[in-house]
Chain A
Amino acid sequence: MNINATLIGQSIAFFLFVWFCMKFIWPPLTRALDERKRTIADGLAAAERGKREQELAEKRALEVLKKAKGDAAEVIAHAEKRAGEIADEAKNQAKVEAERILVAARADIDQELNRAKENLRRAVAELAVAAAGKILEKEIDAKAHAKLLDALVKQL
């Protein structure tokens, strides 16, 4: 092992290799690494943003759904109320109509009754008058009397 010019050769080669590495190897590699780091960071940020946006959209969708549900419930409640009202109205109308018909019927019955009573009264009066007249003219004629009475009874 002797020291000789190999030493100088090795030193020169060392400088040349380091220079080459510094010029042509290190920069592209670190650039690529940095670029990838940035790309990954961007990707992560985008993913984060996307996630947040999705959360927001979900929240919005939930709100819309809730609102729709509320609207639907309102519509249904309204409809039910309206249906109830319509049914009540119909019931009331029917009741009123029934009342009216009843009243009319009662009025008719009363009228008929009165008329009948009037007729009867008139007939009874006529009969009474006729009977009285007959009784006064032919008191003795029992047979005729009885006959008259029978007719009266028949007419009543």
Chain B
Amino acid sequence: MTGETLTSSEYIKHHLQNLTFGRLPDGAWGVAANHEEVQQMGFWAVHLDTLGFSLGLGLVFLFLFRLAAKRATAGVPGGWQNFVEWVVEFIDGTVRGSFSGRNPLVAPLALTIFVWIFLMNFMDLMSIDHVPQAAHAAGVPFLKVVPTTDPNVTFGMALAVFALILFYSVKIKGLGGFLGELTMQPFQAKSWPMRLVFLLPNLFLETVNLIAKPISLALRLFGNMYAGEMIFILIAVMYGAGWLLGPFAGLLQLGWAIFHILIITLQAFIFMVLTVVYLDMAHQEHH
């Protein structure tokens, strides 16, 4: 719904701007009021909306699941506990299927990733205008409700996963084993001189291979969610395009929302499965 003062382009830009807290041009700390101020803030700024929704949804997840965990008994499960157990068994089965090592961290990690990302993605199905409009009425200049459309969130989680990959690679294989994995393959040789020759190409290939993991993890989720959000925004712009396109936009929005239910679940699942697979590779001596 484009307001009187907003063009379509401004509307889209407004929707893509996070509520950013950082150092303002005048030196004080505060919330940026426009894009220029945001650009000048540099790295040391935080997206209040992203972090707020992300942490809030994470806490909702932890609270709801802790509720079920506290009441968990071997007796007949109630409705909510039944659902939580179903999710837990689903995650447990998936992790057992793709993770061959023994690590008590991996299954809870997978559960957290799946449910948390699903909840964050789910914000995409909220009406894209009402919450920001309400916020605007309350004096908040920008508000993005879907944390996973912010690359900071996806990269933040991917880098955390990357740290776990590095940690377990070194822990399981030792520093030597890990470095050996980086330099002794894919080109292998029996003699030391040849190994030295292959060292650099191997290191290059394996480093690319290693770095590609968190980047692909983050970009896949971000790209899917950002594109989905973008399409919702474009459909919303269509509402203002007249009596002919308005109903058509409604139809499109319904269709895209239904399709998006699939995407948000799938992306959460893919992020989880790939994390588990990467950690499994980190746990294996030879892959």
Give the B-binding residues of A (Cβ under 8 A).
1-11, 13-15, 17-18, 20-22, 24-26, 28-33, 35-36, 38-39
- A14 to B111 Cα, complex, angstroms: 12
In the bound complex, do residue B65 and residue A11 qualify as a contact, i.e. CB atoms below 8 Å apart? no
Known: A32-B72, A32-B74. A4 touches B41 (CB 8 A): yes
Partner pick for B58 among A3, A13, A28, CB 8 A cutoff: A13
Is B165 an interface residue, CB under 8 A from the partner?
no
Is B155 an interface residue, CB under 8 A from the partner?
yes
In the bound complex, do residue B74 and residue A4 qualify as a contact, i.e. CB atoms below 8 Å apart? no
Q: Across the interface, which residues of B come within 8 angstroms of A20, CB to CB?
A: 62, 66
Q: Across the interface, which residues of B come within 8 angstroms of A24, CB to CB?
A: 66, 69
Is B152 an interface residue, CB under 8 A from the partner?
yes
In the bound complex, do residue A3 and residue B151 qualify as a contact, i.e. CB atoms below 8 Å apart? yes
Q: Which of B46, B62, B72, B105 has the most CB of A within 10 A?
A: B72
Q: Across the interface, which residues of A come within 8 angstroms of B45, CB to CB?
A: 4-6
In the bound complex, do residue B22 and residue A4 qualify as a contact, i.e. CB atoms below 8 Å apart? yes
Partner pick for B38 among A2, A10, A15, A22, CB 8 A cutoff: A2
Known: A1-B151, A21-B112, A25-B62. A33 touches B159 (CB 8 A): no
In the bound complex, do residue B50 and residue A6 qualify as a contact, i.e. CB atoms below 8 Å apart? yes
In the bound complex, do residue A7 and residue B85 qualify as a contact, i.e. CB atoms below 8 Å apart? no
**B162 (CB) vs chain A CBs: closest residue:** A11
Partner pick for B88 among A3, A9, A11, A29, CB 8 A cutoff: A29
Is B43 an interface residue, CB under 8 A from the partner?
yes
- A61 to B176 Cα, complex, angstroms: 74
Q: Across the interface, which residues of B come within 8 angstroms of A26, CB to CB?
A: 69, 88, 104, 107-108, 111
In the bound complex, do residue B51 and residue A10 qualify as a contact, i.e. CB atoms below 8 Å apart? yes
Q: Across the interface, which residues of A come within 8 angstroms of B6, CB to CB?
A: none
Q: Across the interface, which residues of A come within 8 angstroms of B73, CB to CB?
A: 32, 35
* Closest 8 A/B residue pairs (Cβ): A10-B156, A32-B72, A35-B74, A6-B152, A22-B108, A26-B108, A28-B69, A36-B74
- A22 to B153 Cα, complex, angstroms: 21
